[in-house]
Structure 1
Amino acid sequence: MTELVRRLGLNRRQFLGVSTGVLAATALPASGGGVLVPPAKRGIILYTVRDAIGRDPASTPLPSGFRRVFEELARIGYKQVEFAGYGQHRDAEGGASLETLDGARLLRRWLDDNGLQAEGNHGFIPGSWPLTQPDLDRFKFHLELANILGLGHMGTGGDPTGSPYKADWDVAAEKWNALGQIAADAGIKLYTHNHDAAYGFLLDSGPLDALGRPTRSSGVRKLEYFLSVSDPGLVWLEMDIFWAHVAKHRFHTYTAADGSPQTDVFDPLAVVQAQPKRFPLFHAKDGRANPASGNGYDMVPFGQGDIDYQAFFSGMGAKGYHNPMYEQDNAPGGAADPGRSLRFADVSYDHMASLRD
């Protein structure tokens, strides 16, 4: 086998990929079994390996800083990355902050050198509304960085608003529509990201409280309402599939306008199926079921949990359109296991690559 690998000019991973592919092809029926996440669509958000990017390169032989981490991710097989800011250790090549035009050019060169495509960034989204001039200028600067990096999308890791009230979601939609137009004028799709609370129920009916705010719900979920009032040509979403499943666990009852308790179990896949092209990016974050946890799941490497990604990616529609980014918030192992996040990235890539119809 070693001689065959040498003659074919393959490294160990490439050989395993070829041999696994051959075995899979012989095992699959002729009628189907297509790859669910094509090689060019296999991505990772760099937050997962933030410890590697941020560590002192003089302190360890492990990959450190953007350039070396890009090299390692490319070796693993990833073709896409999503930024979570532009900072690294001050002694890494390029310096502490690459949030400059020259820094973005440097990052772009390293991406190109490693065959990586940057698809998005959890970056700056103005908090003010109406926009202040400083916020507008900073937002446009981040769009300029995005264009240098070749991003198709720019977004945030937070929900549009943390409020439970319909009026606040209306304001959020107004702001995002305006920002989405500015981004579109720069050739970028603007996206927001969900945590579990965004798929809780909107307070939009029933008796008012002392401040004149509604106290009950019509059963509409907050982020679904945002989808209905924001412009589908200007505002996109990145579903964090883990947090959407946490919402399924946490938010399944509400109090209707008449005071009656109602049950409505959330279906993350159905939300995507209703308008699949509204979701150009996903966070492919896995969870092992744990009913004792408040979230209902514990985060684990992709493919080691109980979220049915085979069914999700098979059923969501618009095949080949979406960009799933592996994410694991707790991947860094700290001083006890400094190589863990990149090791988990390796394991998770293999599971993502193995998904079939």
Structure 2
Amino acid sequence: MPTTEPELPQDPAVRRKLTRRGILAASAGAAAALGAVGMNVLQTNQPAIAHGQLRAEPLIPTRNRGIILYSVRDRITAAPDDSGVPYGFERVLARLAELGYKEIEFAGYTQHSSILGRQITPAEIRKILDDNGLVANGCHVSINPATFEEQMDIAETLGMKNLGTGSDPTNSSYTADWDAAADVWNDLGRQARKRGLRLYTHNHDAAYSFLLDAGPLDANGRPTRSSGTRRLEYFFRRTDPRYVFFELDIYWAYVARFKHQKYVDRYGHERTDLFDPILNVVNQSKRFPLFHAKDGNRNSALANGHEMVHFGEGDINFQQFFQTIGDPDFRHANWEQDNAPGGTTNPGQSLDFAALSYTNMSEMTIYRR
């Protein structure tokens, strides 16, 4: 490994010109790993600090370390109990602040009604955030024109700068449906920008599967083969970069790399194309302010090719990922683990995983001159 880390160009126009060769030239270790196993995973050795030439900095700045509350949804929605584990917004957010988290991504705004004898309000949640030195950095809500004004009002009350959803703009394989979704999102994103918000969507693996946009038509007049264009990559091009943004779920991006490798071209030939999560971000860098820092272990026996684990305990190389995409002040990493809740048998599990994941996130370091 080189003893100093390469600086990536900050100008988005320059960054868009980066190729796989450019990325690999920036990291010989990455090149070796990609060549050996076909994955963006490597073991990163930190350079020695000699004569004060290098200084250690957090790879993810402290102020940008967050959590989506879906990871601790069992305790947000829990009724008061005698387990000794925090429940509801006030207690859970206080605990997350104690662990070190600075940012919160919401997955709904409700808790058990027995806590207050009614449902909590966005204004009351904002006070809890402020009391604990926390900042709302986003949310997963339903995005549609009918309720968008209301969702912007809530975001404004919470002091949130990003308004988003955990669903794809459409689940379709066809460009016509993605075109229609892009028209809606461009309009909503324009409205959001007028109120100081960024509208974003969050991916699962299917978002990076291939469009059916070429070849013979089926009985309904729809294409049956592919040009090799991935769904969300088409959506990148169809949406205005001023109005529509993205949150990369890193785990699901690597699942997409495992699952969505082959397509049939317009001539009926099977083609292989490996999805690269790092290049996916670098090539439209300023459209990715948020990330789900979700970890997993590779396991080809599983349908997704990975088994979800808490952050830092899997083999996704977050060191390489965040170091290569750069712009640490712009990036906000929200820990997520879908299976963190432990249920009634282990009500403290999700918060225990939150503690371990924060520790592992905080220990990732980059060395600079």
Q: Specify whether residues 256 and 111 from structure 1 end up closer, same or farther in structure 2 by C-alpha distance, changes over 3 A only.
A: same
The answer to whether the Cα contact below 8 Å between 1:201 and 1:219 also exists between their aligned partners in 2 is yes
Aligned to 1:80: 103
Secondary structure at the aligned position of 1:257 is classed as coil
Cα distance in 1 between the residues matched to 2:152 and 2:217: 41
Aligned length, in residue pairs: 319
Q: Please state how far the C-alpha of 1:104 moved relative to its aligned partner.
A: 1.1
Cα distance in 2 between the residues matched to 1:274 and 1:96: 47
Residue 220 (structure 2) pairs with residue 197 (structure 1): no
> Which has the higher relative contact order, 1 or 2, with Cα contacts under 8 A spaced 6 or more apart?
2
Cα distance in 1 between the residues matched to 2:48 and 2:107: 39
Q: Please state how far the C-alpha of 1:227 moved relative to its aligned partner.
A: 0.4
Q: Please state how far the C-alpha of 1:83 moved relative to its aligned partner.
A: 0.3
Q: Please state how far the C-alpha of 1:59 moved relative to its aligned partner.
A: 4.1
Residue 243 (structure 2) pairs with residue 234 (structure 1): yes
Secondary structure at the aligned position of 2:81 is classed as helix
The answer to whether the Cα contact below 8 Å between 1:84 and 1:123 also exists between their aligned partners in 2 is yes
Residue 182 (structure 2) pairs with residue 182 (structure 1): no
Aligned to 2:311: 302
Cα distance in 2 between the residues matched to 1:49 and 1:257: 46
List runs of 5+ in structure 1 lacking aligned partners.
Answer: 1-24
Give 2:136's match in structure 1, choosing from 118, 125, 131. Answer: 118
Q: Please state how far the C-alpha of 1:142 moved relative to its aligned partner.
A: 1.1
Give 1:336's match in structure 2, choosing from 339, 345, 369. Answer: 345
Instruction: Show the 5 A alignment for 1:127-146.
Output: 131=145, 135=146, 138-146=147-155
Q: Specify whether residues 305 and 46 from structure 1 end up closer, same or farther in structure 2 by C-alpha distance, changes over 3 A only.
A: same
Aligned to 1:57: 80
Cα distance in 2 between the residues matched to 1:54 and 1:107: 14
Q: Specify whether residues 113 and 314 from structure 1 end up closer, same or farther in structure 2 by C-alpha distance, changes over 3 A only.
A: same
4+ residue stretches of structure 1 with deviation over 3 A?
A: 25-30, 95-98
Aligned to 1:40: 63
Give 2:160's match in structure 1, choosing from 151, 154, 159. Answer: 151
The answer to whether the Cα contact below 8 Å between 1:121 and 1:155 also exists between their aligned partners in 2 is yes
Amino acid at match of 2:69: L
Percent identity of paired positions between Structure 1 and Structure 2: 50
Q: Please state how far the C-alpha of 1:268 moved relative to its aligned partner.
A: 0.5
Amino acid at match of 1:156: T
Q: Please state how far the C-alpha of 1:33 moved relative to its aligned partner.
A: 3.8
Cα distance in 1 between the residues matched to 2:323 and 2:308: 22
Secondary structure at the aligned position of 1:57 is classed as coil
Instruction: Show the 5 A alignment for 1:196-345.
Output: 196-345=205-354
Cα distance in 1 between the residues matched to 2:255 and 2:226: 20
The answer to whether the Cα contact below 8 Å between 1:87 and 1:96 also exists between their aligned partners in 2 is no
Give 2:54's match in structure 1, choosing from 31, 34, 38. Answer: 31
> Cα deviation per residue 1:222-246 (whole Å; 9 max; x = unaligned)?
0011001100000000011100100
Amino acid at match of 1:346: A
Cα distance in 2 between the residues matched to 1:34 and 1:258: 51
Cα distance in 2 between the residues matched to 1:233 and 1:140: 19
Cα distance in 1 between the residues matched to 2:318 and 2:306: 15
Give 2:171's match in structure 1, choosing from 148, 162, 166. Answer: 162
The answer to whether the Cα contact below 8 Å between 1:240 and 1:282 also exists between their aligned partners in 2 is yes
Cα distance in 2 between the residues matched to 1:346 and 1:55: 19
Looking at secondary structure, tell me which structure has more helix per residue: 1
Alignment root-mean-square deviation, CA: 1.5
List runs of 5+ in structure 2 lacking aligned partners.
Answer: 1-45
Cα distance in 1 between the residues matched to 2:118 and 2:95: 20
Secondary structure at the aligned position of 1:335 is classed as coil
Secondary structure at the aligned position of 1:336 is classed as coil
The answer to whether the Cα contact below 8 Å between 1:236 and 1:279 also exists between their aligned partners in 2 is yes
The answer to whether the Cα contact below 8 Å between 2:83 and 2:347 also exists between their aligned partners in 1 is no
Q: Please state how far the C-alpha of 1:182 moved relative to its aligned partner.
A: 1.3
Cα distance in 1 between the residues matched to 2:48 and 2:102: 27
Secondary structure at the aligned position of 1:299 is classed as strand
Q: Please state how far the C-alpha of 1:139 moved relative to its aligned partner.
A: 1.3
Aligned to 2:125: 107
Amino acid at match of 2:89: F
Amino acid at match of 1:318: D
Q: Please state how far the C-alpha of 1:201 moved relative to its aligned partner.
A: 0.5
Secondary structure at the aligned position of 2:57 is classed as coil
